[in-house]
Amino acid sequence: MMAKYPFLPEAREELAKYGITLESFSDPAYRRVVERAKRRILDAIEYGDDVNPSSISDDDFVELASFPLSVAMIAAIGDKRLARRFALATSSLVIKLLESENPEWRDEMVLRIARDFFGMDVRRDSRIVSGIAYDYSLGLRDYLRGALAFNKPEWKLVNRVVERGRVLVTAHELIRLLKDRVMEHILSLVEKAGKVGALPSPVEEAIREIKERMPAAIQLELTTVKSGPETWPPCMRTIADRLMAGENISHFANFAFAAFLSNIGFEPHEIIRFYANRPDFKERIAKYQVEHIAGLRGSRTKYMTPSCSTMKTNGLCIKDGALCGGIRNPLAYYRRATKKIRKIDKNKAEVGGERGEAGGEVIGDSGPNGDTPSDQQISGNPR
Q: Is the pLDDT of residue 375 over 70?
A: no
| The pLDDT value given to residue 378 | 29
| The pLDDT value given to residue 350 | 60
Gyration radius of the chain's alpha carbons: 25
Please indicate whether residue 195 or residue 127 has the higher confidence score (pLDDT).
127
Q: Are 77 and 210 in contact (CB under 8 A)?
A: yes
pLDDT band, very low/low/confident/very high, at 42 (cuts 50, 70, 90): very high
| The pLDDT value given to residue 275 | 85
> Is it true that domain 220-383 has CATH number 1.10.579?
yes
| The pLDDT value given to residue 345 | 63
Q: Kindly list the domain boundaries of the chain, sorted by start residue.
A: 2-99+184-215, 101-180, 220-383
| The pLDDT value given to residue 278 | 78
Mean pLDDT, rounded, for 306-333: 92
Query: Backbone phi, then psi, for 132, in 5-degree steps?
Result: -105, 130
Q: Is the pLDDT of residue 361 over 70?
A: no
| The pLDDT value given to residue 1 | 66
Give the lowest-confidence range in 24-38, 238-252, 254-268, 282-296.
238-252
Please indicate whether residue 179 or residue 379 has the higher confidence score (pLDDT).
179
Give the lowest-confidence range in 1-5, 27-31, 75-79, 107-111.
1-5
Q: Is the pLDDT of residue 222 over 80?
A: no
| The pLDDT value given to residue 160 | 95
Q: Is the pLDDT of residue 351 over 90?
A: no
Mean pLDDT, rounded, for 297-316: 90
Question: Using one digit for the tens of pLDDT, what is the confidence trace for 153-190?
Answer: 899 999 999 999 999 999 999 999 999 999 999 999 99
Cβ neighbours of 65 (radius 10 Å): 25
Q: Is the pLDDT of residue 147 over 50?
A: yes
**Which of 257, 241, 281 minimizes the C-alpha distance to 89?**
281
Q: Is the pLDDT of residue 279 over 50?
A: yes
Residue type, 199: L
| The pLDDT value given to residue 347 | 66
pLDDT band, very low/low/confident/very high, at 89 (cuts 50, 70, 90): very high
Give the lowest-confidence range in 36-40, 279-283, 315-319, 353-357.
353-357
Q: Are 80 and 120 in contact (CB under 8 A)?
A: no
Any residues with CB less than 8 A from the CB of 258 and at least 6 apart, and which?
271, 289, 290, 293, 294
Q: Are 67 and 6 in contact (CB under 8 A)?
A: yes
| The pLDDT value given to residue 115 | 95
Alpha carbon distances (Å) from 58 to 3, 6, 251: 9, 14, 37
In 121-198, alpha helices (H)? 140-147, 171-193
Any residues with CB less than 8 A from the CB of 370 and at least 6 apart, and which?
none
Give the lowest-confidence range in 86-90, 197-201, 247-251, 343-347.
343-347
Q: Which helix (H) or strand (E) holds 88?
A: helix 80-100
What average pLDDT does the structure give for the chain? 84
Mean pLDDT, rounded, for 178-206: 92
Mean pLDDT, rounded, for 43-57: 89
Alpha carbon distances (Å) from 204 to 78, 102, 199, 210: 14, 39, 6, 10
CA distance 125 to 139: 12
CA distance 20 to 142: 37
| The pLDDT value given to residue 38 | 97
